[in-house]
Chain A
């Protein structure tokens, strides 16, 4: 197997831990609903929301937390959130309909992303806030409002291309938003369309893990709001998008060891850690590592609500060095956030049946075939490396490290394609799995569970069920059957 097993154990909160210990339930559900199966935990999302709220409270900030719907299409999660004070950020006509149908009133919805006319019309018709990407989108929206005699629509201007003073931060070009340098043109359009649109604030969404880049953008938004105010407009909100991240792994040391070994493998100093010597973006060039690691930083001590806190605590250099949170507060602005992945932390798992365990005669890693397609659990697609939890077929709970020898395996799926690998890498398990076992992928609710799922080859798409704790037992229903009044104890 080439040295010590390199585990990447998932981080499990109390709910997921308890769920994964409920072997009987998991077997029953996969027997009944098929493999793969997605399970979502609605109560967790409400708890995560509360964590974000507490960061708002600590900084005395008001404003809305909008769940980024695109991260998961579960109705249960959406409806559970509808029963809180959260908002939802929708990026398509379907998502908007879903949100309205789940009980979100228009004042709790923002529409973002590329918009087709139907999406824009329904947004304007129902009176949700629209995050406008460009002047032409603003024109289009205003024309719809006038043509259909609708009430003025609240808009956020989504900006991009923020620059620091002194130091230029190179940024990944974004297709979204209007460069902040063109703010004046955008504001002229807002003024031209007074009566059709109502400027609620400015927005950005940066695809980066860097706090510094986001702080620069937030600072730029504060300045943009000042420009608005100086023109007599009265916007109040700064929408800082999502991207607060998730910490997927239980142990930082495992992640550090793994990535060090990956570097060594790329340099040929240890056996490869993945099929075909795949280096996840790293490559060797005359004994030196080149490229950059195309992996999600799976162990992230500062993620989710704590990341938001860190961002808000950054000093704003061009505004006197006070922390961003203090400036937001002093300027009387509302803070909007759009966490997707981070709100879904610990909110779901994906379970699949082991169909076959094959020892290749080459003595290489075991080949484990699962009743699952790579698209159903797109952890690798998102660069997240994390071990599955094996739940034995005899119903005695997840196997522990004691008993049985560690093995290296390759997980592959049920599509008739060489590329249908669940993992390119060698996955180390505490002991050999057997057909009939279940493999559970933890923490897949954010983007990893149904984002890519298709009906290719007429294979079934995973069913989804909602689960909740009722005292010591887990209860379940189909995702679509879940309403916040479903769990016992809630008023009917």
Chain B
């Protein structure tokens, strides 16, 4: 495979059969359409390229900025495409809730504008929502924009009508699947594919999946939010069902760990929703059937999303010398010293004074002569053993004396004979009128 441009690598993604041992369906062959293997990482590469391509020459002439309301994958693809053509890209959104994606977009040169949250003190007579204002600004300003308008642009749907749909049929030897399952975001992929499949075989049944209303699955809309999408037509779907964030992550894990498909949460949601829906049919009918679902994008961008919802999945083996292993009694009886005594001790025995706060706080104000080792760093340091000599007395300080008590207990347990925690911390030190400096 030899290409002149990366955009030629968009499309022609594999259709991979899911092992029946994983999904457990006896009569249904389940296939995953691996849109995650598009060059910019998602199903949106097709739509972004198809929407932008016809306008690029003109945009380059005018030096237009590409703009889109996107929280993720479309923005990613457009940022790359814009960059390849020497154009700027701006994403306006109120849904960018996954920090890695935000950082990745910035890395790709995107400019991001987030819409403000809802007002606490509503003005019910206000008619201008932020999106209306955005559209008005686009049309009013004299500068040139290439607004791809993914929620309303028919070329979004078309990319799948002429690409994704035909590829599925080709890989199924010219037949449409009995079932097609897709998550609904802009509705572009589900609508385009469904339309092509129905042209091939009007009996195809289409399952549209949305996020449960109180949940958040990046890239998918809730049942209400799809109503704001111009490309969404309820008649496209034989059934709409919702999937929770937990379900999506469960499905994602199955694809990641058992199928070797590094899908993100929407792929997981599609898999989970497909199996949940097909299980009953599978039990009721002995006829051989084929179902296809779409895997939109990759898992790597969603680690913080997973960390927030399922921290257990990212658990690490327990560490040695961790303050977490200490008992309450050990912490309570850790050697401590009050502000007055500490001042005297510092004057006579010159203990090493360790301030466990962040460098910013330390730089602002600290006890004269102290060294700053942030607690997180300190925790790593002690994993390898005592970081200073047993003959060197140590005074630990933190804001209120809580963390320093933990570490004093830990160091004591590790065999240090003379470590103490500053009771009441730097706050007590300040409140006692003892001096703090910034150097």
Contact = CB atoms under 8 A, between A and B. Distances in A.
A395 interface: no
Nearest to A216: B114
A288 B228 CA distance: 5
B140 interface: no
B33 to A, nearest CB: 27
B5 interface: no
Contact of B118 (A208, A319, A330, A447): A208
B118 A297 contact: yes
Given A256-B213, A263-B227, A167 B365 contact: no
B122 A210 contact: no
Given A167-B102, A320-B359, A330-B361, A290 B228 contact: yes
B120 interface: yes
A160 to B, nearest CB: 13
A213 interface: yes
Interface in B180-234: 213-214, 223-224, 227-230, 232-233
A330 B400 CA distance: 9
Q: How large is the interface on B (under 10, 10 to 19, 20 to 34, 35 or more residues)?
A: 35 or more
Interface stretch (A129-137, A185-193, A377-385): A377-385
Contact of B227 (A267, A281, A447): A267
Interface in B387-411: 398-400, 402
A166 B107 CA distance: 10
A123 B400 CA distance: 34
B357 interface: yes
Contacts of A297: 118
A454 interface: no
Interface stretch (B125-133, B255-263, B295-303, B378-386): B125-133
A60 B402 contact: yes
Interface string A229-263: 11000000000001101000000100010011001
Contact of A260 (B106, B119, B223): B223
Contact of A322 (B111, B129, B358, B402): B358
B36 to A, nearest CB: 25
A172 interface: yes
Contact of B116 (A62, A171, A263): A171
B213 A289 contact: no
A226 B364 contact: yes
A194 interface: no
B117 interface: yes
B122 A295 contact: yes
Interface string B396-439: 00111010000000000000000000000011001000000010
Contact of A172 (B103, B119, B427, B438): B119
B124 A381 contact: yes
Contact of A209 (B115, B117, B127, B427): B117
Interface in B337-380: 357-362, 364-365
B329 interface: no
A62 B119 CA distance: 28
Interface in A167-222: 167-172, 207-213
B313 interface: no
Give the interface centre of B113, B118, B123, B233 by most chain A CB atoms within 10 Å: B118
Interface string A419-463: 000000000000000000000000000010000000000000000
Given A168-B113, A170-B113, A332-B365, A207 B360 contact: no
A212 B117 contact: yes
Contacts, number: 143
Contacts of B176: none
A170 B116 contact: yes
B220 to A, nearest CB: 16
Contacts of A291: 127, 129, 132
Interface centre among A209, A230, A252, A286 (most CB of B within 10 A): A209
Contacts of B112: 166-168
B120 A289 contact: no
A405 to B, nearest CB: 29
A424 to B, nearest CB: 10
Most buried by B among A226, A256, A332, A380: A332
A288 B230 contact: yes
B283 interface: no
B114 A168 contact: yes
B121 A382 contact: yes
A332 B427 contact: yes
Contacts of A55: none
A210 B102 contact: no
Contacts of A288: 152, 227-230, 232
A263 B224 contact: yes
How many of chain A's residues touch chain B, expressed as a range? 35 or more
A292 interface: yes
B116 A166 contact: no
B360 A226 contact: yes
B130 A170 contact: yes
Contacts of A327: 358, 360-361
Contacts of A167: 96, 102, 106, 112-114
B355 to A, nearest CB: 9
A374 B92 CA distance: 38
A213 B103 CA distance: 18
A181 B70 CA distance: 29
A113 to B, nearest CB: 13
Nearest to B427: A332
Interface string B77-117: 00000000000000010001000001100100001111111
A297 B224 CA distance: 15
Contacts of A332: 361, 365, 399, 426-427, 430
A214 B277 CA distance: 41
A331 interface: yes
A381 B126 CA distance: 12
A101 interface: no
A170 B399 contact: no
B289 to A, nearest CB: 32
Given A166-B102, A256-B213, A213 B116 contact: yes
A211 B365 CA distance: 29
A7 interface: no
Nearest to A267: B227
Interface string A311-354: 00000000110100011011110000000010000000000000
A170 B400 contact: no
B124 A294 contact: yes
Interface in A285-316: 286-292, 294-297
A260 B213 contact: yes
B127 A281 contact: yes
Contacts of A207: 119-121
Contacts of B214: 252, 256
Nearest to A342: B120
Give the interface centre of B114, B127, B359, B362 by most chain A CB atoms within 10 Å: B114
A70 to B, nearest CB: 10
A261 to B, nearest CB: 10
A296 B118 CA distance: 9
A447 B121 CA distance: 9
23 contacts: A62-B427, A167-B106, A168-B113, A169-B114, A169-B116, A207-B121, A208-B120, A210-B118, A211-B117, A229-B438, A230-B438, A242-B120, A263-B227, A281-B126, A288-B227, A290-B132, A291-B129, A292-B129, A295-B122, A320-B358, A330-B358, A330-B399, A332-B430
Closest 5 CB pairs of A and B: A210-B117, A330-B361, A292-B129, A330-B357, A383-B122
Interface of A: 60, 62, 166-172, 207-213, 226, 229-230, 242-243, 245, 252, 256, 259-260, 263, 267, 280-281, 286-292, 294-297, 319-320, 322, 326-327, 329-332, 341, 380-383, 447
Given A209-B117, A320-B360, 9 more contacts: A169-B114, A170-B116, A208-B117, A208-B120, A230-B438, A245-B120, A297-B118, A319-B360, A327-B360
